[in-house]
Amino acid sequence: MTGIVDSALADSIEALLEEPRIRHLPRSADPKSVDQKMIARIAHTPSAVAPVPYMLAIFMQETEGQHFAIPQEVGDDDSFLVVGLDINSSCADEVKSRGYGVGQYTLFHHPPRVEEVADLMLDPLRNAQGAFAKLREKLDHFVVGNDPETRADDRKAEHPLLALRLCHYSPDDRRYMLARHDCARRARKVDIKPTTPLYHLASQTYGDAEHYRDPSYVGVPDRADFQCDWPYAVRRYNGSGPDSFNYQAKVLLKLLIQQQEEPGANV
């Protein structure tokens, strides 16, 4: 934390690098090409697990669509796997968990096991598949229910009598689980300010978030106006509390931009 590497720390780092049980963080010789091919593959492969457009919006929010970091300037040689750290708010030196790769698949232990390096790190598509499964888990188990620990309070406040909704369209419809023809574009839009309550009669506001200071979002697709429950699952993908509501707003804005840019979006 002082910026100075003393001999004891240097010796510790050297020992870790030489320890065969500790895997090195993967990197790519051509991260831009790898990342672009990964996103293209995901975008053109329908999924029955979770809607592809939602996942693409999540990937852009999490890592800007990068599995391996793309160097941003001359002299930048960081082409390692993207790693996000969840820091203890009361102790800046303490890492609570680590998210790996494009989907920021979270491991709460360290170091990763050998099989986790293979499953979550070396193969971007397998990492993405893990993220698809995680979003589906959030939809199935953390949206509807009476348990305060597992239900989504925004969903309970806005659609208390509805059963869980997978998709507005039937499985035999070409629009099923694609969410690309009308969902975000046709939803009414809302503006969110720091003083905006998280949901009707909520005691907390968007401005109460720890990691989003002075939040302001214009033209956000209203989650309550969707014909499915994926917007609520998106929030639970990021946990709970005011931070997750800000995350939800940002992902829905990215979903809207994505749909506006799609060829034939008005079909």
Average pLDDT over residues 130-142: 95
Q: Do 134 and 191 fall within a single domain?
A: no
Domain final residue, candidates 120, 141, 162 = 141
What range defines the domain where residue 103 resides? 23-141
Domain final residue, candidates 141, 174, 191 = 141
How confident is the model at residue 179, as a pLDDT?
Answer: 62
Q: Do 32 and 126 fall within a single domain?
A: yes
Residue 149 belongs to some domain of the structure: no
Residue 28 belongs to some domain of the structure: yes
Q: Do 32 and 96 fall within a single domain?
A: yes
Which is more confident, 21 or 131? 131
How sure is the predictor about 168, in pLDDT bands with cuts at 50, 70 and 90?
Answer: confident
Residue 161 belongs to some domain of the structure: no
How sure is the predictor about 223, in pLDDT bands with cuts at 50, 70 and 90?
Answer: very high
Average pLDDT over residues 207-226: 95
Q: Do 27 and 137 fall within a single domain?
A: yes
Least confident of 38-42, 110-114, 139-143: 110-114
Residue 207 belongs to some domain of the structure: yes
What are 100's strand-pairing partners? Answer: 83, 105
Residue 205 belongs to some domain of the structure: yes
**How many domains, in total, are found in the chain?**
2
Q: Do 48 and 137 fall within a single domain?
A: yes
Is the pLDDT assigned to residue 180 strictly greater than 80? no
Distant-in-sequence, close-in-space partners of 12: CB < 8 Å, separation ≥ 6: none
Q: Do 192 and 104 fall within a single domain?
A: no
How confident is the model at residue 262, as a pLDDT?
Answer: 63
Residue 12 belongs to some domain of the structure: no
The structure's pTM equals 0.88
38: burial class by Cβ within 10 Å (0-12, 13-18, 19+)? buried
Compute CA distances 95 → 53, 83, 120, 238, whole Å. Answer: 31, 12, 19, 17
Provide the mean pLDDT of the chain: 90
Q: Do 127 and 41 fall within a single domain?
A: yes
Q: Do 119 and 213 fall within a single domain?
A: no
Q: Do 120 and 41 fall within a single domain?
A: yes
Domain final residue, candidates 141, 169, 193 = 141
Q: Per residue in 65-95, pLDDT tens?
A: 999 999 988 888 899 999 998 887 777 778 8
What b/e string do you get for 128-164 counting C-beta neighbours within 10 Å, with b at 16 or more?
bbbbbebbbebbeebbbeeeeeebbebbbebbeeeeb
Q: Do 213 and 132 fall within a single domain?
A: no
Residue 5 belongs to some domain of the structure: no
For residues 214 and 193, give the distance between their C-alpha atoms in angstroms, rounded to a whole number.
8
